[in-house]
C-alpha cells in the first residue's frame, strides 16, 4: 500500500457541485463542513446546494438523457471499465478518503474500494448484454417484439456508511442502462463521491450524464427533484423512515423506485454448527464497518447448548480489537459516525441491561476525542429488549438463545425488517429449509459476509424494494417495451 499524504489528498478533492460537466459553487455561496469522526477535525468545506441548484442538476441530466441513451452500449461499458481501472489504480487514495470522512480502519476501506470498483466492472460488462426477444403470438397472427430501454433521468441518494460502494452500486447500472443521473451523497461523507465523480469526468464521461449535489438541506432539495415530472426514477439507500417518506413522495409522479433500507439481521448458530466458522463469521457480520452496516448481524440467536461457549469465544475475540483512528497501523475498530450514534448504541445496551442482560465486555462510550464506543458483547438478552427490535448500528453483539429450529426461525422472522440473515449449521437439509423459511432477501449460509457485485443485493418487508448488483441490478434502470407487429406472411 502506498502511504497517502492526507493533506495533499484533501487538496485534490473537489468541493463544488458537479453540474453539466462543470464544477461550481452553490448559487448562494453557502458551504458546510465535513469532519473526521475520529478527531472531529474539519476535513473540507463543500458546496451546500439549494433547491435551485438541485433543479439545475436535474436540467443537466435531462439535457444529456437522449444522447446518452443512444450512445452505443459498448461505449458506455468501456467508459465504466476505464473508471474501474482508474479506481483500482487510485485504490489507496479512495481508501484513505473513506477512512478520513467515515472512520473505518484502512484495511476495511481497502476492502470497500475493491467491492465498490467491482460494480463498475460488472455493469460495464452488462451494458452490452441488454437484450430483448422476438416471438410469434400463440394465434400466429402477429409477431411480438420485447425491448429494453433506459428509464430516463434518475435521482440517486446514498448513505454515509459505504461512501464509494453505495455510489458505484447505483451509478454503475444506471449508466450501463443508458440513464443520466443526479447523485446526492450523504452530507456526512460527500468527499468520496466528489473524488469519484472527478474521475468519471477524467475518463471522458459526457457532460450532464452524472451530476452531483451536496447539501445539508436534503429534504427540500430532494423533494423538488422528486416532484419534477421530468424525473423518472428514484433510487435510495438509507434508513427505513426516510425511505418510506420518499416512497410516498415518489408515488405522486408514479416513479420507478429502488429502496435499500434498514435491516435487523438475525445470525443463527445451531448446535451442529462448526463453532470456529460461526465465531469467525460473527466477527465479520457484526464488527465490519464498526457495526454500521445495513447487513450487520443485529441479533445472535444461538442454540442454548452452545450459547455459553459461543459467547466466551466471541468475547475473547472482541478483547483483541484495537480501537482508534482508522488511519493508524493495527487499528481494527474505528469511531462511530457521530455523537447520535454513540447515544443510540449506549441506550440500547442500557435498556437490555435494565431487563437482565449481562455485559461480557465493553458497554460504554470511550471518553475523549472522537466518537468511539467500546466493542461490546451482551448476553442473556430478554425478549422485548429494544436492542432486538432496532438497528444497533454500532459494535455491539447481543445474544439470545433458542431450543429448537422452529423457535429459531420464529425469533429470526419476528421483525418488520427482511434484508439478510446468517445461519451456521452443518445439516444440509436444515440449510435448505432455512432458505425457504427465513423472510429475508439474502442469506449467508455458513458465511458472515454476503455482499458481491455479481449477486442481487436487497431486502424484503420493510428493508426495501428492488435489487442492486447481479443480473437483476441493471433492470432497475430499464423499462420493458412491447411492440406488436402483423404476421409478415399474411
Ligand atoms: P438516512 O436515511 O438518514 O440518510 C440516507 C440518505 O438520505 C443521506 O444521503 C441523507 O442525506 C438523505 N436524507 C435524509 N433525510 C432525507 C430526506 N428527508 N429527503 C431526502 N433525503 C434525505 O440514513 P443514513 O443514516 O445515512 O444511513 C444509515 C441507514 O442506511 C441505515 O438504516 C442502514 O441500514 C441503511 N443502509 C441500507 C443499505 C441497504 O443496501 N439496504 C446499505 C447501507 C445503509
pLDDT (average), residues 32-58: 98
Q: Does the CA dihedral 367-371-377-380 come out positive or negative?
A: positive
The answer to whether the predicted template modeling score (pTM) of the entire model surpasses 0.85 is: yes
Q: How far apart (Å, rounded) are the C-alpha atoms in residues 269 and 71?
A: 50
Closest-CA residue, ligand 1 atom 28, reads 238
Distance 158 CA to ligand 1 centre (A): 6
pLDDT (average), residues 58-65: 98
Closest-CA residue, ligand 1 atom 32, reads 239
Atom number in ligand 1 closest to CA 222: 20
Considering the domain boundaries, does residue 134 fall inside one?
yes
Closest-CA residue, ligand 1 atom 42, reads 294
Distance 240 CA to ligand 1 centre (A): 8
Considering the domain boundaries, does residue 487 fall inside one?
no
Most ligand 1 atoms within 8 A of CB, residue of 193, 239, 419 to mutate: 239
User: Do 313 and 174 reside in the same domain of the chain?
Assistant: no
User: Do 331 and 205 reside in the same domain of the chain?
Assistant: no
Instruction: Categorize the per-residue pLDDT at 196 as very low, low, confident or very high, splitting at 50, 70 and 90.
Output: very high
Considering the domain boundaries, does residue 381 fall inside one?
yes
For the chain, the average pLDDT equals: 98
Residue 474 sits in a domain whose CATH number is 3.40.605.10
Atom number in ligand 1 closest to CA 457: 40
Atom number in ligand 1 closest to CA 240: 32
Considering the domain boundaries, does residue 366 fall inside one?
yes
Beta pairing partners, 269:
302, 424
Considering the domain boundaries, does residue 1 fall inside one?
no
Residue among 93, 118, 294, 374 flagged as catalytic: 294
Question: Which positions ≥6 away from 378 have C-beta within 8 Å?
Answer: 349, 352, 353, 357, 358, 359, 360, 363, 387, 396, 397, 398, 399
* Ligand 1, residues at Cβ distance < 6 Å: 157-162, 184, 186-187, 218-219, 222, 237-239, 242, 246, 260-263, 294, 391, 419, 459, 464
Closest-CA residue, ligand 1 atom 30, reads 238
User: Do 245 and 323 reside in the same domain of the chain?
Assistant: no
pLDDT tens for residues 367-403?
A: 999 999 999 999 999 999 999 999 999 999 999 999 9
Look-up of cell digits 454476503: 450
pLDDT at residue 34 above 80?
A: yes
Give CA angle at 24 (21, 27), nearest 5°: 130
Q: How far apart (Å, rounded) are the C-alpha atoms in residues 50 and 30?
A: 9
Atom number in ligand 1 closest to CA 243: 2
Number of domains into which the chain is organized:
2
Instruction: Categorize the per-residue pLDDT at 478 as very low, low, confident or very high, splitting at 50, 70 and 90.
Output: very high
User: Do 439 and 300 reside in the same domain of the chain?
Assistant: yes
User: Do 252 and 297 reside in the same domain of the chain?
Assistant: no
User: Do 342 and 475 reside in the same domain of the chain?
Assistant: no
pLDDT (average), residues 159-184: 98
Atom number in ligand 1 closest to CA 215: 11
Instruction: Categorize the per-residue pLDDT at 229 as very low, low, confident or very high, splitting at 50, 70 and 90.
Output: very high
Active site residue 260: yes
Considering the domain boundaries, does residue 391 fall inside one?
yes
Instruction: Categorize the per-residue pLDDT at 1 as very low, low, confident or very high, splitting at 50, 70 and 90.
Output: low
Considering the domain boundaries, does residue 459 fall inside one?
no
pLDDT tens for residues 134-146?
A: 999 999 999 999 9
User: Do 148 and 115 reside in the same domain of the chain?
Assistant: yes
Residue among 101, 108, 112, 260 flagged as catalytic: 260
pLDDT tens for residues 75-122?
A: 999 999 999 999 999 999 999 999 999 999 999 999 999 999 999 999
Structural domain that includes position 92 = 6-261+464-481
Considering the domain boundaries, does residue 457 fall inside one?
no
Give me the percent of the chain exceeding a pLDDT of 70: 100
Residue 269 sits in a domain whose CATH number is 3.40.309.10
pLDDT tens for residues 250-280?
A: 999 999 999 999 999 999 999 999 999 999 9
pLDDT at residue 408 above 80?
A: yes
Query: In 185-305, where do the E strands start and end?
Result: 210-212, 233-237, 256-260, 265-269, 297-303
User: Do 142 and 243 reside in the same domain of the chain?
Assistant: yes
User: Do 330 and 239 reside in the same domain of the chain?
Assistant: no
Q: Does the CA dihedral 66-68-69-74 come out positive or negative?
A: positive
Please report the pLDDT score of residue 3 as a whole number. Answer: 78
Please report the pLDDT score of residue 329 as a whole number. Answer: 95
User: Do 420 and 338 reside in the same domain of the chain?
Assistant: yes
Most ligand 1 atoms within 8 A of CB, residue of 238, 336, 417, 441 to mutate: 238
Most ligand 1 atoms within 8 A of CB, residue of 104, 159, 255, 457 to mutate: 159
Instruction: Categorize the per-residue pLDDT at 2 as very low, low, confident or very high, splitting at 50, 70 and 90.
Output: confident
Q: How far apart (Å, rounded) are the C-alpha atoms in residues 35 and 44?
A: 7
Please report the pLDDT score of residue 197 as a whole number. Answer: 98
User: Do 200 and 245 reside in the same domain of the chain?
Assistant: yes
User: Do 253 and 285 reside in the same domain of the chain?
Assistant: no
Amino acid at each position: 500500500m502506498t502511504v497517502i499524504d492526507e493533506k495533499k489528498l484533501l487538496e485534490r478533492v473537489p468541493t463544488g457541485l458537479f453540474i453539466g460537466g462543470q464544477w461550481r459553487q452553490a448559487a448562494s455561496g453557502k458551504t458546510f463542513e465535513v469532519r473526521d469522526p475520529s478527531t472531529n477535525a474539519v476535513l473540507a468545506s463543500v458546496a451546500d446546494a439549494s433547491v435551485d441548484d438541485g433543479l439545475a442538476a436535474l436540467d443537466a441530466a435531462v439535457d444529456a438523457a437522449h444522447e446518452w441513451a443512444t450512445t452505443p452500449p459498448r461505449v458506455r461499458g468501456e467508459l465504466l471499465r476505464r473508471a474501474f481501472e482508474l479506481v483500482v489504480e487510485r485504490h489507496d487514495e479512495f481508501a484513505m478518503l473513506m477512512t478520513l470522512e467515515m472512520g473505518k480502519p484502512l484495511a476495511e476501506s481497502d476492502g470497500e474500494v475493491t467491492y465498490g470498483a467491482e460494480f463498475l466492472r460488472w455493469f460495464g460488462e452488462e451494458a452490452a448484454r441488454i437484450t430483448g426477444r422476438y416471438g410469434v403470438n400463440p394465434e400466429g397472427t402477429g409477431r411480438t417484439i420485447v425491448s429494453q430501454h433506459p428509464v430516463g433521468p434518475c435521482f440517486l441518494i446514498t448513505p454515509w456508511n459505504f461512501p464509494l460502494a453505495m455510489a458505484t452500486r447505483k451509478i454503475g447500472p444506471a449508466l450501463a442502462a443508458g440513464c443520466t443521473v443526479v447523485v446526492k451523497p450523504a452530507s456526512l461523507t460527500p468527499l468520496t463521491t466528489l473524488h469519484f465523480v472527478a474521475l468519471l469526468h477524467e475518463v471522458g464521461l459526457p457532460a450532464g450524464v452524472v451530476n452531483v449535489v451536496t447539501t445539508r438541506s436534503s429534504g427540500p432539495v430532494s423533494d423538488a427533484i422528486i416532484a419534477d415530472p421530468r424525473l423518472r426514477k428514484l433510487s435510495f439507500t438509507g434508513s427505513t423512515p426516510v425511505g418510506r417518506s420518499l416512497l410516498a413522495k415518489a408515488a405522486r409522479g408514479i416513479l420507478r423506485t429502488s429502496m435499500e433500507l434498514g435491516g435487523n439481521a438475525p445470525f443463527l448458530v445451531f448446535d451442529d454448527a462448526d463453532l470456529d466458522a460461526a465465531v469467525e463469521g460473527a466477527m465479520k457480520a457484526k464488527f465490519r464497518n464498526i457495526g454500521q452496516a445495513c447487513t450487520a448481524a443485529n441479533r445472535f440467536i444461538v442454540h442454548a447448548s452452545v450459547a455459553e461457549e459461543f459467547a466466551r469465544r466471541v468475547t475473547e475475540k472482541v478483547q483483541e480489537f484495537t480501537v482508534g483512528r482508522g488511519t493508524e497501523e493495527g487499528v481494527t475498530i474505528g469511531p462511530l459516525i457521530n455523537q447520535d450514534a454513540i447515544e443510540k448504541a449506549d441506550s440500547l445496551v442500557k435498556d437490555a441491561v435494565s431487563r437482565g442482560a449481562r455485559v461480557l465486555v465493553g458497554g460504554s462510550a470511550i471518553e475523549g476525542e472522537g466518537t468511539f464506543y467500546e466493542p461490546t458483547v451482551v448476553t442473556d438478552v430478554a425478549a422485548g429488549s429494544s436492542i432486538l427490535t432496532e438497528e444497533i448500528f454500532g459494535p455491539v453483539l447481543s445474544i439470545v438463545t433458542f431450543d429448537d429450529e422452529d423457535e429459531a426461525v420464529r425469533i429470526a422472522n419476528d421483525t418488520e425488517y427482511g434484508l439478510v440473515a446468517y445461519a451456521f449449521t452443518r445439516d444440509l437439509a436444515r440449510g435448505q429449509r432455512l432458505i425457504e423459511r427465513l423472510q429475508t432477501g439474502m442469506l449467508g449460509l455458513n458465511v458472515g459476509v454476503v455482499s458481491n457485485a455479481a449477486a442481487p443485493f436487497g431486502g424484503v418487508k420493510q428493508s426495501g424494494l428492488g435489487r442492486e448488483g447481479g443480473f437483476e441490478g441493471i433492470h432497475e434502470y430499464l423499462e420493458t417495451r412491447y411492440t406488436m407487429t402483423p404476421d409478415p406472411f399474411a
